[in-house]
Amino acid sequence: MALSKALTALLLAENVLSSPISGAYNARASSLDWKPCDLKFSSAQQAVIDAHEVPLYCSNLKVPLDYTDEKSGATLDLQLIQVKASKEPVKGSIIMNPGGPGASGIEEISSNGPMYREVFGGQWNVIGFDARGTGRTIPFACDPVNETTSSLVRRAQNFTIPQNDMYDVLTTKAWDSAALYVEACAETKGNKDIASVISTPFVVRDMVNIVDALGEDGLLRFWGRSYSTVVGQTFAAMFPERVGRIMLDSVVRFEEYYSSTWASSTRDTEVAVLSFFKACVQAGPTLCPIANFTGPNTTPESLNLELADILQELIDNPEIGETEIKLPTQEWWQPGTPLYQTIKMLYLSQSYRPDQFPALWTFSDAIFKRDWEGIITTLKAPAAGAKPSNSTDQGSSNTTAEMDLPWHLGLNALHGISCSDTARRAEKPEDMYSLLQSQRAQGSWADVLGPQTWVCPQWPFAPKEIFNGPFIDLKTKNPILLINGAFDPITPLSGAWDASANLPGSRLLVHNGHGHGVMNHPSNCTIKAIHDYFNDGTLPEVGAKCEPNQPAVELAVEAAEAAVAAGPAIPE
């Protein structure tokens, strides 16, 4: 793989041992008891773990359940996972979190911990944990909405909604749908107690406890991606004297997050989608059928305009694709018909990484041909070998059934965490009018992502702690490194510049790769910058940029060729 080759070259070039931040390694004993993991992962996740063959170690750490009432004595067991350093001397530990909010740090490190260890040079332990509300750490999940008894649900499902006016979406559907959703969450047993103690400030305090339990030098070394850049910025604001190394990868503006606007998130989505079309044209019509959609002179811009026309047709003709279908991406906050919402979400989500391009290239052919029936049939079809969720396999043992449960049980952690992190509440849709105009002004994908925040104004739970700042002039013991992609569909580069401006002494490295998360489009240059920062505190030069090892189209073509070589999936 290109990434493995890049890491090997980098590590062979390294011939000097770096010093930890504080000089001599502090040998204070750790209070953590690391043992080989015995976690009940799904069979698919276990296959990933078995493939990399790197031992995983686990430990539990008791932390206060409620940091505002530690005298109560109530505690929470944090599940930790570790990939141990492979080289001597061991310099310490780096904590990682994959974002979300709601992603599982246990799953992330069990899958990718060995790769991260290589990035750091092999002398660091890599640690992950499930933040509150995620994985098996008091997971936040809501019972399904009762669709058979609620007149509001029927009203929401049967109303034809103009897609190009977010306020209409809110007033005709989303406000009532959100009310049903939060009601279901409120009525789910245990959620009241869970929701009050899963806000980001509590996660930050958990990280302080992890750092202390490691028994190193008392400083945090942290790689946060996406939402976890909010965690990193919050840590910097709450505990600036405990900052050792914090790297923020694909940066979320944390003042926007806490205000529950997420207004600028889709600012660069069109840039990312245009880059997707550029790779399509470069790949040619054999791999990307729409590469010559307008003839031999087809351009990325002409494909982008055609997509705009298609989406407008679906806005103007909402009866297209009006069938009783349930699509995987369909949520309470869908901006219009399932077909419109799904197509738009596909272009957003498949722009996260270049190796996802080929599937959308193929699907784009049907979209551009307006083959609505074929699209709906494809979307409704289960994956090869998939079993219905309510099916029973008489040959399955209890162990097999248990293995096929997902590790991450916090199905509604995104709202459980993000809505607990904001004080924004509203009594009626009119109270949200200005918010929607702010979101809508940021870009044409705002109606896909922005509505995720519309649940929070009716959120029924009160958190024990909300972070209210500071948000600017965050002076830290050691400088922070920020890295952001130039073609990121969900965390725009401009937001990373804003964040860096609020962190005196920080440095932003522009990663000229495509996707969300810098490791999705590998760059030797970026990997070296990460390595040097964590090992000796070196920051890139002002204005530094890193090019990926290969163009996005090459990664996409490699993925397409690998898929052809693997052949079709064989049903069980």
Tens digit of pLDDT at every position of the chain (572 positions): 444 444 444 433 433 333 333 333 344 567 899 999 999 888 899 999 999 999 999 999 999 999 999 899 999 999 999 999 999 999 999 999 998 898 999 999 999 999 999 999 999 999 999 999 999 888 999 987 654 333 333 233 332 222 357 888 888 888 988 999 999 999 999 999 999 999 999 999 999 999 999 999 999 999 999 999 999 999 999 999 999 999 999 999 999 999 999 989 989 999 999 999 999 999 999 999 999 999 999 999 999 999 999 988 988 887 786 654 454 444 545 555 678 888 888 999 999 999 999 999 999 999 999 998 888 877 766 543 343 333 333 333 334 344 456 766 777 899 999 999 999 999 999 999 999 999 888 878 888 888 889 999 999 999 999 999 999 999 999 999 999 999 999 999 999 999 999 999 999 999 999 999 999 999 999 999 999 999 999 999 999 999 999 999 999 999 999 888 876 554 34
Cβ neighbors of 281 (< 8 A, separation 6 or more) are 288, 291, 298, 299, 300, 303
Within 194-333, strands assigned E span 220-226, 243-251
Six-digit token string for 571: 């049903």
Q: How many CA atoms lie within 13 A of 116 on its CB side?
A: 27
Q: What is the pTM of this model?
A: 0.87
Helices (DSSP H) in 137-268: which residue ranges?
Answer: 151-158, 166-169, 175-187, 191-195, 200-214, 227-238, 254-259
Cβ neighbors of 192 (< 8 A, separation 6 or more) are 186, 461
The Cα–Cα gap between 30 and 90 comes to: 14
**DSSP code per residue over 51-117:** HH----EEEEEEEES-TT-GGG--EEEEEEEEE--SSSSP-EEEEEE--TTT--HHHHHHHHHHHHH
Place of tokens 């047993």: 189
The Cα–Cα gap between 508 and 496 comes to: 7
Superfamily for the 2-7+27-139+196-263+465-548 domain: Alpha/Beta hydrolase fold, catalytic domain (3.40.50.1820)
- Number of neighbouring beta carbons within 10 Å of residue 296: 7
- Number of neighbouring beta carbons within 10 Å of residue 317: 12
